[in-house]
Structure 1
Amino acid sequence: MGHFTIDFRDFLHNMDCIWVTENSYLLNHNDHVLRIYSNTQHHKINGSEILSFALKREYFNLDNPYIAISTGKKSRKRKLKMSSQEEEEKKCHKSLTERLITVATKTETLLRDINVRNMNYNVKTDSVKTCKGCSSIFKNLCFRQAFNIAQDTVTIPCDGSIHLDSSHVTDRIVSYNANHPRTVCIGGEYYLVPQKCTFLMSDASRLDPLLNLAHSKGGFDIIVIDSPWENKSAKRGRKYPWLSLGDIGKLPLQKLAKNSCIIMVWITNNPTIRRFVTNDLFKSNEIQYITEWHWLKITNTGRPVVDFASPHKKPYEILIIGSYRKVPQIEIVPKVFVSTPCSIHSHKPPLDDLLMQMNLDSPQCLEMFARNLKPQWTSWGNEVLELQNLKYFDNIEC
């Protein structure tokens, strides 16, 4: 096969994934972001302009695999006889690893043969990250114009400058119904808002607004859960607030899902968490297990980010899929999606094109424990706006 050069942005003009092999796809995370936030209306107190944004390129500068740090000492743990469940898990892991190695090899060959290069764009040097000059009086005025006192909701206007305080968008449903992205000033900093999105910024003890929204919609068709799982690293490093398995098990999924709702749960490679999801979370919520998808993490040259044989980390993450009460009419098969991971902690790749392949008719979609917003989705989490802050983005020239 001859070598030729393409640009991701040209190749993926209408979609953000390339078919690699059967039910396996190469995703371009940042190109997807650029498509969402090209032609963004940026409103300031003294005027507005049309800008385009992508995540900072430095977040995807991964040319070499991660280096595993060894202590030089081998563990001498006593080998115990594995249970039948552990034996089955080991067998499944071996089969999965073989498949992922095949996908990784084909992906590396694909990237080499077509010589895919990173997007080339010019970054504008002017900063639009923070807002200067908006007062508390002006914020309260904007809030009164956007606030629906009867429903305790906020509707972000399609046009015009709007400046809010963080308290204005906390513990209440906030919606934006325009067909174009825009910026909003919250607490003196600018945030990106994609088209037709809804969000609730709250902790798990204040879910009533989300439950009321779900009731008004007749429930959600797709629910993606990216739980902050408890683990030793999270406890020791305090990298993020985590929830116990018991707390996650209390999520009111049955009040959020409509019958045959597709439930998708991100998990770590910890067998205890897998068992909790399939044996406890799913069964207690009448969710039937369907299949699993796997995110294979690669470098920009197509190599897995860590060796498959690494005893500490794996180059993939798992998305367990089930359905609430009824099996959906569509067929959901195992898939592998491949991408260079964003260096922002736990920032998952976009699944939009893969979900579109399900051919659901205008599905109502919810992401739980979200840290960013998605077009035409409802997002909930106590950090739901975190990765919408313009400090994570480059203002670019398309």
Structure 2
Amino acid sequence: MSILFSSSQGWVISHEKYIKCIYNNVVLTDIKKTVSLSYLQNLFCIINPFIYNDQISKIYRNEHTVKQSRKKKKLAFNRCLGVTNSEEVYCINEIFNKIIQCAKKFNFLNFNKTEQYNNNADAREISERFFKNLSSYKNASSSGSNTNDYAIATNCFDDLIIFPANSIFYCCDVKELFNKLESNRTFDFILMDPPWWNKYIRRKNLKNVAEGYKMMYNHELKELPIKSFLCNDGLLAIWCTNSSSHVNDVINILFPNWGIEYCATWYWMKVTKSGEPVCNFSKPPGKQPYERIIFGSRSGRTQKYRQPEEKKVIISVPSAIHSHKPPLIEVLASYLPTHPACLELFARYLLPNWTSCGNQVMCLQNMDLFTQESTSLEPS
């Protein structure tokens, strides 16, 4: 559903298409009506690289100069390689270009670069509206499930909320979850997207509480009883920033404390709708157009299931909403059991057949983020 192109080095996926597929038939429980849902059209309308607003007019007036300067920057970047971590940046850039070149042959992205420099105004408008409404239910404590084999939409938190098929949710602090789960419950796959300590997010919290989220120190993450809830041949994945301190703590502190052995690091490459990186590759420790997913497993796993390989790259157009990560379940299918038991911690949206937990777990399930079409199909 989400995979547009795959190769030995990675994938091009569509978050938008995946959501449209899993919500193809959603039952509105209050009125017994079935609808087909998709995200608002502009939520993934990322047509320009991320830049500051005051740069837009300069780009529009002097496009040719900008193109020339980009070429110079690329050459300068290539010359700067050789410092610590630059090999990683160079490698990801090379893999990205190879995948994109192959994907172009099959027209999986619109590679006709837009001439419109509006700094993704439509997408940013949706994001700003979303954060204004976020505080109304992000801290509401509750739990529940949809045991049907089809998605439903029902009133919850004074809003119309969508629940995917066979999904379980715990809207609470992650540290409270393990007291709510059965003590013998284990999972084949655990995905984490921790709110890493970050100075920018801290400033954002001070400026606008609704937009921020409560960050956690790494020593707090260390105390989570991951080992108790990951099965003996289970796989763990952690979304991580490119901060060397966070990466080091995951591999050398968190993993050993949880009884986890490091497997591999994958990279999520964020691109515009025309396949252009959302920002330039930079000399470390500068901002990069990618985030990383660090994999670890229990020691017994290698005897039963395929292990993730190093340096796979996942390419997709990102959502306009901060920390709205793409679904990984389809690219991970060959690394997991046929019907895996999956848990996401610090989740911001729900997935079919998953257990999801976090104090913002319902944030992206609001009907306001979707458009709908009526259908005649009724659930059996």
Query: Where on the TM-score scale, by shorter chain, does this alignment land: which range?
Result: 0.7 to 0.9
Deviation at 1:337, TM superposition (A): 0.7
Report the RMSD for the aligned CA atoms in angstroms.
2.6
In the alignment of these two chains, the number of paired residues is 313
Per-residue CA deviations over 1:22-72 (Å, capped at 9, x if unaligned) read 23100011000000001110122xx2211111111211111121126999x
Q: After superposing the two structures, state which structure 1 stretch, 202-211 or 241-250, moved more.
A: 202-211
| Matching residue within 230, 236, 243 for 2:216 | 243
Amino acid at match of 2:190: I
The alignment status of 1:293 with 2:266, answered yes or no, reads yes
| Matching residue within 84, 95, 104 for 2:87 | 95
1:199-210 matches, within 5 Å, as: 199-210=169-180
| Matching residue within 328, 339, 363 for 2:340 | 363
Amino acid at match of 2:261: Q
Deviation at 1:171, TM superposition (A): 4.8
Contact 1:266 1:318 in 2 (8 A): yes
Cα distance in 2 for partners of 1:175, 1:216 equals 19
Partner of 1:12: none
Cα distance in 1 for partners of 2:162, 2:36 equals 11
Q: Which has the higher contact order (CA 8 A, sep 6+)?
A: 2
Cα distance in 2 for partners of 1:244, 1:287 equals 20
Amino acid at match of 2:164: P
Cα distance in 2 for partners of 1:317, 1:193 equals 28
Cα distance in 2 for partners of 1:24, 1:208 equals 34
**TM-aligned CA distance change 1:309 to 1:70, over 3 Å:** farther
SS of the residue 1:354 aligns to:
coil
The alignment status of 1:338 with 2:315, answered yes or no, reads yes
SS of the residue 1:352 aligns to:
coil
| Matching residue within 27, 44, 47 for 2:13 | 27
Q: After superposing the two structures, state which structure 1 stretch, 108-117 or 219-228, moved more.
A: 108-117
Per-residue CA deviations over 1:180-235 (Å, capped at 9, x if unaligned) read 101021132110000001111111342244432xx343x11100010001110011
Contact 1:107 1:302 in 2 (8 A): no
Cα distance in 2 for partners of 1:70, 1:244 equals 35
Deviation at 1:325, TM superposition (A): 4.0
**TM-aligned CA distance change 1:194 to 1:362, over 3 Å:** same
Cα distance in 2 for partners of 1:104, 1:320 equals 18
Cα distance in 2 for partners of 1:204, 1:177 equals 22
Cα distance in 1 for partners of 2:250, 2:83 equals 18
Amino acid at match of 2:255: F
Contact 1:171 1:206 in 2 (8 A): no
Q: After superposing the two structures, state which structure 1 stretch, 57-66 or 327-336, moved more.
A: 327-336
- Structure number, greater radius of gyration: 1
Contact 1:288 1:327 in 2 (8 A): no
Amino acid at match of 2:305: I
Percent identical across equivalent pairs? Answer: 29
Cα distance in 2 for partners of 1:316, 1:373 equals 23
| Matching residue within 368, 371, 377 for 1:394 | 371
1:7-22 matches, within 5 Å, as: 15-22=1-8
The alignment status of 1:61 with 2:45, answered yes or no, reads yes
Identify the structure with the greater helix proportion.
Answer: 2
| Structure 1 portions without partners, runs of 5+ | 1-14, 72-88, 119-165
Cα distance in 2 for partners of 1:309, 1:70 equals 21
Deviation at 1:344, TM superposition (A): 0.7
Partner of 2:153: 183
SS of the residue 1:290 aligns to:
strand
Partner of 2:98: 106
Question: TM-score if structure 2 supplies the norm length?
Answer: 0.76
Cα distance in 2 for partners of 1:250, 1:367 equals 17
Per-residue CA deviations over 1:346-377 (Å, capped at 9, x if unaligned) read 01111111111225132111000101111001
Question: TM-score if structure 1 supplies the norm length?
Answer: 0.73
Amino acid at match of 2:201: A
Q: After superposing the two structures, state which structure 1 stretch, 310-319 or 268-277, moved more.
A: 310-319
Partner of 1:322: 296
Amino acid at match of 2:361: V
Contact 2:155 2:161 in 1 (8 A): yes
Contact 1:293 1:336 in 2 (8 A): yes
SS of the residue 1:357 aligns to:
helix
SS of the residue 1:299 aligns to:
coil
Cα distance in 2 for partners of 1:397, 1:63 equals 30
**TM-aligned CA distance change 1:221 to 1:112, over 3 Å:** closer
Cα distance in 1 for partners of 2:109, 2:288 equals 26
Contact 1:230 1:242 in 2 (8 A): yes
Cα distance in 2 for partners of 1:271, 1:196 equals 38
**TM-aligned CA distance change 1:95 to 1:397, over 3 Å:** farther
Contact 2:4 2:108 in 1 (8 A): no
Partner of 2:243: 270
Cα distance in 1 for partners of 2:104, 2:239 equals 30
SS of the residue 1:350 aligns to:
coil
Cα distance in 1 for partners of 2:153, 2:260 equals 38
1:122-141 matches, within 5 Å, as: none
The alignment status of 1:230 with 2:197, answered yes or no, reads yes
Contact 1:289 1:321 in 2 (8 A): yes
Partner of 2:36: 52
The alignment status of 1:170 with 2:170, answered yes or no, reads no
Deviation at 1:107, TM superposition (A): 4.3
Amino acid at match of 1:394: T
Cα distance in 1 for partners of 2:33, 2:103 equals 37
Contact 2:175 2:224 in 1 (8 A): no
